[in-house]
Amino acid sequence: MISGIESVTVGVRDLDAALSLFRDRMGFRVETDVRASVSLLVAWKLPVHSDLRLVTLSMDGYPFGRIRLAGIGTGTGSATRLDFGPDAVDRPTDVGPKALHLYTGSPIAQGLDALVAAGCTARGEPVRFEIGPNDTEEVMVTGPDGLPLLLMVGHRHAAGTRRFEPGAARFGEVATMSVITHDLEASRRFYEEALGYVHETTDVELRGVNRDAACKLLGVPPGARVHFVMYRERRQPSGKVVLVHFYDRTTPPLRHPMRPGQLGLSLLSCRCTSLDGVAERLGHAGGQVESVIQHVAVDVGVPCRVMLVRGPNGELFEFVER
């Protein structure tokens, strides 16, 4: 009934600078470049007079894991997550969206160097560890307006969890969105029963050196317990969600929950066959409907029905019935 994440909307002050990173440096291509329609502004609860430019980027035209840049200008200072650097107002363990995960090719240092040359900031050195069956090497990076990015090389990742392996200093689409959860069981119900996602490969608490490496990567105090659960649309390698749970080290929600018109991670867009069916499932499995709008011009083409849904960890989903 519900697809994997087709696009993640990212609010930026300087849209051209963001395009320089994602399009020119990382190799994403522009699929649409439009002004938000009045109907979409209404659905997103933004002023109808807003002049909001939306640029949707894909990797090779792939329909999942896209980035939709929203040029919101300089009129706002609020960001969904700022948990690194001198301007940090959030903690690395705060509940809510954590980072966009993208594959790069081995050696990871070449991909990291390419992003740093484009103006991003590395948050530390890459670390290598195992998450269940996956041998992974990862590094956190700060992108435009504090956007948290996680680069990874899958030295051994379970079959079907990635679309392809990029070459050196190349990049893939948004493979995964990580979300810190305070209530793992409530999040399981939401992703399994309401969204219908599956967790075929990863559902594990890390131990020993793997736990220590993950804590270092995520900026968490050493020794904290860390549990990962990966959810995806069945057989879909991109547009996944990874829940991260820190047990008693988990801290309260972000100061600014996801919402359109905000800097950074603001909206997760998925396709669905029936908004009414989704709403009925939410009643049994958690999640809160924030708005339902008929006949919305989302990007180009035939108008759609749109429903915004708030997940148990502040995630904001845009379900689109075409």
What pLDDT does residue 293 have? 86
3-state secondary structure of 22: helix
How much is the average pLDDT of 263-286? 92
What pTM does this model have? 0.95
Is the model's pLDDT at 154 over the cut of 70? yes
For residues 32 and 300, give the distance between their C-alpha atoms in angstroms, rounded to a whole number: 8
What pLDDT does residue 13 have? 95
How much is the average pLDDT of 233-256? 96
Question: Which has more confidence, 158 or 141?
Answer: 141
Percent pLDDT > 70 in the chain is 98
What is the bridge-based pairing of β-strands 240-245 and 134-142? unpaired
Domain-located, residue 153 = yes
Domain-located, residue 301 = no
3-state secondary structure of 188: helix
126: domain CATH number is 3.10.180.10
The parent domain of residue 221 ranges over 94-253
3-state secondary structure of 121: strand
Cis ω for the linkage preceding 252 (within 30 of 0): no
Other beta carbons within 10 angstroms of residue 80's beta carbon come to 27
Domain-located, residue 211 = yes
Domain-located, residue 180 = yes
Domain-located, residue 83 = no
For residues 151 and 172, give the distance between their C-alpha atoms in angstroms, rounded to a whole number: 10
Closest CA to 258 of 135, 66, 100, 35: 100
What pLDDT does residue 115 have? 97
Domain-located, residue 134 = yes
Which of 293-313 are b and which e, b meaning 16 or more Cβ less than 10 Å from the residue's Cβ?
A: beebbbbeeeebbbbbbbbbb
Radius of gyration of the chain (CA): 18
Domain-located, residue 215 = yes
187-213 pLDDT, tens per residue? 999 999 999 999 878 999 999 999 999
What pLDDT does residue 235 have? 87
Domain-located, residue 230 = yes
Is the model's pLDDT at 229 over the cut of 90? yes
Quote the number of domains for the chain.
Answer: 1
